């Protein structure tokens, strides 16, 4: 059972970029946490991060047909990219959109997501735990449909 964990632009700067908003955990910390929890659940977390919109779309295309779930934090592309939304909609698995910060308590332009309408759920404001919660949901959902 494989769960994709896809992070978008600037998330490679976690731990040093605006720690008051995003916390002090690094991307490596977050990915390690996801891999460890997935392993505990009998699954595998496949982690990737790209700053480019096309690279994110290419990764989604490469994962099609091989995942039972996807956790996606598209960063700023969440609020701007119809192309990324279409690639997420084309996934043949459940998707959970995740944001480290509470986007609804921030600037108005962050309040709209192109991804939310094609996601099974959205988690925001829980920091790195949001990724773990999304992963746990996706594993549980995959098990309930295969049982």
Q: Which of 35, 59, 60, 63 is nearest to 132 (CA)?
A: 35
Q: Which residues pair with 47 in a beta bridge?
A: 5
Helix H or strand E encompassing 98:
strand 94-99
CA 88 to chain CA mean position, Å: 11
Annotated catalytic residue within 61, 79, 99, 114: 99
List 22, 77, 114, 131, catalytic entry: 22
> Active-site residue 22, yes or no?
yes
10 strand-pairing partners:
none
Q: Catalytic residue numbers?
A: 22, 99
């Amino acid at each position: 059972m494989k769960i994709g964990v896809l992070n978008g632009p600037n998330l490679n700067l976690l731990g040093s970029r605006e720690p008051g908003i995003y916390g002090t955990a690094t991307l490596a910390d977050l990915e390690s946490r996801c891999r460890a929890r997935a392993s505990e659940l009998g699954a595998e977390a496949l982690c990737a991060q790209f700053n480019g919109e096309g690279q994110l779309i290419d990764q989604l295309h490469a994962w099609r047909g091989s995942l039972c779930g996807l956790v996606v934090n598209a960063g700023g592309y969440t609020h701007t990219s119809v192309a990324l939304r279409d690639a997420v909609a084309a996934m043949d698995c459940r998707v959970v959109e995740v944001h480290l910060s509470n986007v609804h308590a921030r600037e108005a332009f962050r309040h709209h997501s192109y991804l939310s309408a094609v996601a099974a759920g959205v988690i925001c404001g829980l920091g790195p735990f949001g990724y773990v919660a999304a992963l746990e949901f996706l594993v549980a959902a995959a098990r309930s449909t295969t049982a």
